[in-house]
Amino acid sequence: MCEAGETNTPSAQLATQAAQALLKANLVREKDLEELRSALSIGTATAGQWLLWVDLATEEGDGDE
Amino acid sequence: MSRAIQRLTLRSFRGATEPVDIDLDTDKPLVVIFGENGCGKSSLIDGIDFIANGSYGSLMHRSVDGQRHPFLASLGHELDDIEIGLQTKEGGAWIAKLSNRQASVQRISNTGELPVVHVLRRAEILDIVEATPAKRYEALGRFIDVSSYENSETTLREALRNVAASLERAVARLEQASSGLENYWQTEGATGQSARAWAKTKSEEDIDTLKDKKATLKSVQQASTAVASMRTSYGRAISQERLARRRQAKVQEDLKQLPAVEGTEAVKLVALLREASPLVQEGTDISKCPLCLHKVKGEELRKSIADRLSALDEYVQLADRLLEADRSRDLRETARKNALDSLLEALTNLASAAEQVRGEMEADAEMALATLCDTLKQEDDEARASFIRAGRALSLYLAPLGDHMKTVAADLEKHNAIRVQYEALVTSEKNARHQEQLHRRLEQALEIVENTRKTFVDLVLISIGEECQALYARIHPGESLGKPRLTMHEGRRGSVELGGVFEDQTDIRPQGYYSESHLDTLGFCVWLAIAKRGKPEDTVLLIDDVFTSVDAQHISRIVNLISDVARDFAQVIVATHYRNWRDRYRLSQAPGLEAQLLELHRWTLARGISLSSTSLAVEELNAKIETEPLERQAVASQAGILLEALLDYLTLLYRRRLPRNQQNEWTLNDLLSACRKLCNQLSIERDAEPKKNDEEIDEEPDENEPETIAQIVAPFYEDMGQLSFVRNQVGCHFNLAGGEVSDGDVRAFGKATSALVGAIVCEQCGQIPSRRKGDHFACTCGKTRMRPLEYTG
């Protein structure tokens, strides 16, 4: 699960849990899940990325409705 | 393979003024390094810490003038000389040097990884127990440090703030658009149900007709303007033509005033002479006149023409003026005709454009248009003049249509204004809805991200706390304090609170109530519990002379605890100045066969750090027994000490009575008396060694019931007891009877003592069974059991 450069740090473990919880709540798309998890793990997620992930998930949700 | 450290080398590092090479027994999970203060224990620990963690080790807690790194080098050595080597059991090898004040670690073997090394010094205990919650968090950080995750959590909050600001702006824009439209609606009479409904209806109206009308009116206006412009041009062209004709007439009049020359008109003559001049110019061979063909003299003819032209100079100038006037009149006449054509074309265009607005024209304009159309294709001058007049009239009559066009343009502008405002309102509504939705979902995301982190950290701390409680209970069984608990500080990031129980208070701060030794053991248990959370199999624990305030009874429990947990880790290295710690292993009161015992010698500048292995007491005795010539006193004394240690331990374990005295010291005879009946009751049961493959197996072994070997202790005690006098007579005192004791008896006493110890001590771990378990005492590895649990006198 961990990319090169990541280790099984507390942040990495936590990132996996949080990413799954966000996916379950439809706040992130499955196709963005790995990118999100990796960014959470190594602390590189930017405000812009958060907006994009949540916005895209919202659009996808709207599309499904 | 294990990451246990197999070899450590120090060069010019801290106390190592001379090179030190230490080989560690990686088959044993525990290494106990004993040395009195100032022998170099911390140098060894710091060396491992430096290469594995890049840490300055114990220097981290001290400095001189704010500097630490200069003191990494041994006294009299350079920083560049520092070199630390480390090899692991799995074949890894590294060398560390100091570079730019940092550890520069070079791998010199392609196998294995550096072990994870956790070091516990007294200062770290203080960090865990007595430090502020924030400092404690730092100490625990490597296990609960989710700062990377928290960085992303921070950017999520930033995203939420950004969206909140965007939402605020979007709402403001919506209100502005709504208010603007409302005002406009009121201005326009407030028809319809609402401003929004009115604007929607208005903006959806078809405006193509209006647009077409505006275009038509514009074309009429442009045609009318063109007619006016062409009319002006035409008038100017007529004036200019008249002027040119007058100038021509004036020149002709001037010409008539001059007398005729040589019987012809002077001007024609000048023209003739001018035309003849090139025919007789200089260089041309002229023998005949080109006109009359009579013989002439060329030179004379040329001169004659020139003279005549010179004489006619006034005529020459007049001829030039006449030529210019004729050309000017021709040009002006052409220009007038062109202007007339343009005017006619503009009038034709006007007639065509005006035809499209016929219904909106005044009666006079209608009449002028009709005249214009009637005379459109007539060529005679009168009709043309009528055509032009009608056009001029029509142009004037059409002027009011400009106002009509302004009204149409205003209608169009209003429509556009309503449409733009309505679209702004719709866009603002959509944007505000989107921002609101995004804000709500980002709030949900933040809640999930925050809660996941809190739950994760809480679970880790609960888990560490529970492990810590179990460890602490082993060191302080039945005491009215303990149950340590770790919690994140409410509302403060990066802070860990340490709580515990004291008497009837269940959530106190231990640092305010516990004794120093209780705080030491508490810090140790927290540290150990944390270390167990990582990957203990890849982890080497270094415990650097931590327990300075703990009494002997608790040290004994700590020794047992460390012996137990050592098996979970790649390796545990304990450095201690506490001799009894080491002797517990030597004297089989701790699992001596599972520990490598090293002893540091006195440090000197010339020798630096030096050390040697320490054998178990029973091994030393066995070696002495076999030595020739026999060292009688040494054997008797060594056996006596070993025997006393064993019996003393048994009396404590079984609470046997001993005669009281001021010093709480007992003689061997006291101990022998106290243990005689006890040893008659003792029985030992051992798990048998597993059979090798080539040994014949008669029966199928029962997997649930390991084969055991039972043994009673009494015979061994009797054998030893008959010879116990040797200890006093040969090993301790001068007396004549001692000389009568044969070497054989001394050897027999030594062997009997060794056999008694061997009968009780576990062959696997080297410990006297001393842990209460069910109906028996068990050793650390659990393969040897001693019964009964209680002496029944």
Continuous segment of H or E residues that includes residue B120: strand B116-120
- Angle, helices B401-475/B195-204, rounded to nearest 10 degrees: 120
Residue B168: inside a domain: no
Residue B325: inside a domain: no
- ipTM score: 0.94
Total domain count, chain B = 1
Cβ contact (<8 Å) for B158 and A47?
Answer: yes
Q: Please, are residues B354 and B313 in contact by the beta-carbon 8 Å criterion?
A: no
B93-99, strands of its sheet edge to edge? B20-23, B5-11, B83-88, B93-99, B102-107
Residue B179's pLDDT is 92
CA distances from B41 to B58, B413, B741 (A): 11, 93, 44
Residue B645: inside a domain: yes
Cβ contact (<8 Å) for A11 and B449?
Answer: no
What is the nearest CA distance from B446 to chain A, expressed in angstroms? 10
Q: Which domain holds residue B724?
A: 618-691+705-787
Residue B716: inside a domain: yes
Cβ contact (<8 Å) for A51 and B150?
Answer: no
Residue A4: inside a domain: no
Residue B700: inside a domain: no
Q: Please, are residues B456 and A10 in contact by the beta-carbon 8 Å criterion?
A: yes
Residue A3: inside a domain: no
Query: From its phi and psi, is residue B191 left (phi > 0), alpha (psi between -120 and 50) or beta?
Result: beta
What is the nearest CA distance from B614 to chain A, expressed in angstroms? 40
Residues of A in contact with B159 (CB under 8 A): 47-48, 50-51, 54
Cβ contact (<8 Å) for B156 and A25?
Answer: no
* Minimum Cα–Cα distance from B159: chain A residue: A47
Q: Which residue has the tokens 């865990």?
A: B128
Cβ contact (<8 Å) for A18 and B163?
Answer: no
Residues of B in contact with A11 (CB under 8 A): 145-149
How far is B455 from B154, CA to CA, in rounded Å? 18
Residue B396's pLDDT is 77
Interface test with A, best of B114, B148, B157 (most A CBs within 10 A): B148
Residue B714: inside a domain: yes
* Minimum Cα–Cα distance from B144: chain A residue: A10
Residue B691's pLDDT is 58
CB proximity list for B432: less than 8 A, separation 6 or greater = B167, B170, B171, B173, B174
Q: Please, are residues B594 and B1 in contact by the beta-carbon 8 Å criterion?
A: no
- Angle, helices B133-144/B122-129, rounded to nearest 10 degrees: 110
How long, in residues, is chain A?
65
Q: Please, are residues B14 and B74 in contact by the beta-carbon 8 Å criterion?
A: yes
Residue A5's pLDDT is 45
Residue A4's pLDDT is 42
* Minimum Cα–Cα distance from A7: chain B residue: B148
Cβ contact (<8 Å) for A45 and B156?
Answer: yes
How far is B231 from B396, CA to CA, in rounded Å? 13
Pairing of strands B481-488, B571-576: unpaired
* Minimum Cα–Cα distance from A38: chain B residue: B149
Q: Which residue has the tokens 């009011």?
A: B400
How far is B768 from B761, CA to CA, in rounded Å? 4
Q: Please, are residues B144 and A10 in contact by the beta-carbon 8 Å criterion?
A: yes
Q: Any chain B CB within 8 A of the CB of A4?
A: no
Encoding tokens for residue B70? 């200069």
At residue B1, the 3 state secondary structure works out as coil
The residue type found at B474 is: R
Query: From its phi and psi, is residue B117 left (phi > 0), alpha (psi between -120 and 50) or beta?
Result: beta
What is the nearest CA distance from B430 to chain A, expressed in angstroms? 14
Residue B126 phi, psi (nearest 5): -65, -40
**C-alpha dihedral sign at B95, B99, B101, B102:** negative
Residue B218: inside a domain: no
Residues of B in contact with A3 (CB under 8 A): none
Total domain count, chain A = 1
Cβ contact (<8 Å) for B145 and A10?
Answer: yes
Cβ contact (<8 Å) for B460 and A15?
Answer: no
Q: Of A21, A46, A49, which has the smallest distance from its Cβ to B452's Cβ?
A: A21
Residue B18 phi, psi (nearest 5): -120, 155
| DSSP code per residue over B629-688 | S--HHHHHHHHHHHHHHHHHHHHHHHT------TT----HHHHHHHHHHHHHH-EEEEEP
Q: Any chain B CB within 8 A of the CB of A22?
A: yes
Residue A3's pLDDT is 47
Residue B760: inside a domain: yes
Interface test with A, best of B152, B161, B443 (most A CBs within 10 A): B152
Intra-chain end-to-end CA distance of chain B, in Å: 51
Cβ contact (<8 Å) for A14 and B162?
Answer: no
Q: Of A14, A21, A50, which has the smallest distance from its Cβ to B146's Cβ?
A: A14
Residue B486 phi, psi (nearest 5): -110, 135
How far is B765 from B521, CA to CA, in rounded Å? 25
Per-run averaged pLDDT (10 residues), chain B, 793 residues: 93 94 96 94 94 86 72 89 95 93 91 91 80 76 80 95 95 92 90 90 87 86 85 88 92 79 71 82 75 80 85 82 90 91 84 80 76 73 78 77 84 89 92 94 96 89 88 87 78 77 82 85 89 89 88 88 93 94 94 95 94 95 94 94 95 90 85 93 88 55 72 94 92 82 94 96 94 93 94 84
Residue A5: inside a domain: no
Q: Please, are residues B636 and B621 in contact by the beta-carbon 8 Å criterion?
A: no
Q: Please, are residues B82 and B12 in contact by the beta-carbon 8 Å criterion?
A: yes
Residues of B in contact with A14 (CB under 8 A): 146, 149, 452-453, 456
What is the nearest CA distance from B94 to chain A, expressed in angstroms? 21
Cβ contact (<8 Å) for B456 and A11?
Answer: no
Intra-chain end-to-end CA distance of chain A, in Å: 32
Residues of A in contact with B437 (CB under 8 A): 58
CB proximity list for A19: less than 8 A, separation 6 or greater = A28, A33, A36, A37, A40
**C-alpha dihedral sign at B762, B764, B770, B773:** negative
User: Radius of gyration (Cα) for chain B, nearest Å?
Assistant: 61
Residues of A in contact with B494 (CB under 8 A): none
Residue A24: inside a domain: yes
Q: Please, are residues B545 and B41 in contact by the beta-carbon 8 Å criterion?
A: yes
At residue B115, the 3 state secondary structure works out as coil
Q: Any chain B CB within 8 A of the CB of A17?
A: yes
Residue B145's pLDDT is 78
Q: Please, are residues B540 and B507 in contact by the beta-carbon 8 Å criterion?
A: no
Residues of chain B whose beta carbon is less than 8 angstroms from a beta carbon of chain A are 143-152, 155-156, 158-159, 162-163, 437-438, 441-442, 444-445, 448-449, 452-453, 456, 460
pTM, two decimal places: 0.65
Cβ contact (<8 Å) for B149 and A51?
Answer: no
Which of B18, B119, B134 is closest to B603 using CA atoms? B18
Cβ contact (<8 Å) for A11 and B452?
Answer: no
A-B interface: how many C-beta pairs under 8 angstroms? 90
How far is B238 from B339, CA to CA, in rounded Å? 9
Pairing of strands B539-544, B116-120: parallel
Q: Which domain holds residue A35?
A: 10-64
Q: Any chain B CB within 8 A of the CB of A56?
A: no
Q: Please, are residues B425 and B132 in contact by the beta-carbon 8 Å criterion?
A: no
**C-alpha dihedral sign at B758, B762, B767, B768:** negative
